[in-house]
Chain A
């Protein structure tokens, strides 16, 4: 079955540590995205990539980094510079030609202790 796989589902980290969230898709989609969801805040775009080896900052990119070395993979690193990293992180993908039809993964919940 085609879809998006995020790992890990739950992650705990100490303050000052970097952590990398994995996102893999087998939908053959060119575009991939990372969103952050906080209670009562809706989804906010962190980074997106329209094509391999290219990515753009979203609304809240500070303290995060990404790479897109393969079409299938778009990992997100939450760095120690992110002031409030505890959140639910969602990866998504879409075909080129418009972002409307996003397909989401199951999410990764990061808790900073």
Chain B
């Protein structure tokens, strides 16, 4: 079993829809959980950053971490065509291991006007 599993999609939704993106993981030592957005031929940019379990909201984006289920989610409300990108989950343990993020393979999202 891979350490981080992420459905690659592609996922296509109409403008205004609520989008749910998910990752599962197997390493119980992971403490930091991130979501990155990557536009085509560009470097990823950090969207959301969460330490340990819980929810975090930033505008139209909500990140959830459920450590008991080893499951993280990113919700996008009122999706826009500009949200069309690949979304990568990433996670790491704390301490010295925090320098080595493990990434999911990414989910490609298209928001159709």
Chain A nearest CB from B14 CB (Å) reads 26
A75 is an interface residue with CB less than 8 A from chain B: no
Q: Which B residues are CB-close (under 8 A) to A103?
A: 46
- Return the CB mask of B14-47 against A: 1 if under 8 Å, else 0: 0000000000000000001010100001111110
Residue of B nearest to A105 (CB): B43
B100 is an interface residue with CB less than 8 A from chain A: yes
Residue of A nearest to B94 (CB): A98
Contacts A107-B41, A107-B42, A107-B43 known; A99 to B49 CB distance under 8 Å? no
Contact residue range for chain A? 20 to 34
In the complex the two chains form, is A104's CB within 8 Å of B44's CB? yes
Say which residue of B8, B32, B36 sits within 8 Å of A40 (CB atoms).
B8
In the complex the two chains form, is B43's CB within 8 Å of A90's CB? yes
Contact residue range for chain B? 20 to 34
Chain B nearest CB from A105 CB (Å) reads 5
Q: Which A residues are CB-close (under 8 A) to B92?
A: 98-100
Stretch at the interface among A13-21, A43-51, A66-74, A79-87: A43-51
A58 is an interface residue with CB less than 8 A from chain B: yes
B105 is an interface residue with CB less than 8 A from chain A: yes
Contacts A106-B42, A107-B41, A107-B42 known; A101 to B99 CB distance under 8 Å? no
In the complex the two chains form, is A42's CB within 8 Å of B88's CB? yes
A76 is an interface residue with CB less than 8 A from chain B: no
Chain A nearest CB from B75 CB (Å) reads 20
In the complex the two chains form, is B104's CB within 8 Å of A99's CB? no
Q: Which A residues are CB-close (under 8 A) to B103?
A: 42-44
Q: Report how far A90 CA is from B49 CA in the complex, Å.
A: 20
Binding site for B on A (CB under 8 A): 4, 31, 33, 40-45, 48, 50, 56, 58-59, 90, 92, 94, 98-107, 109
Binding site for A on B (CB under 8 A): 6, 8, 32, 34, 36, 41-46, 49, 51, 88, 90, 92, 94, 98-101, 103-106
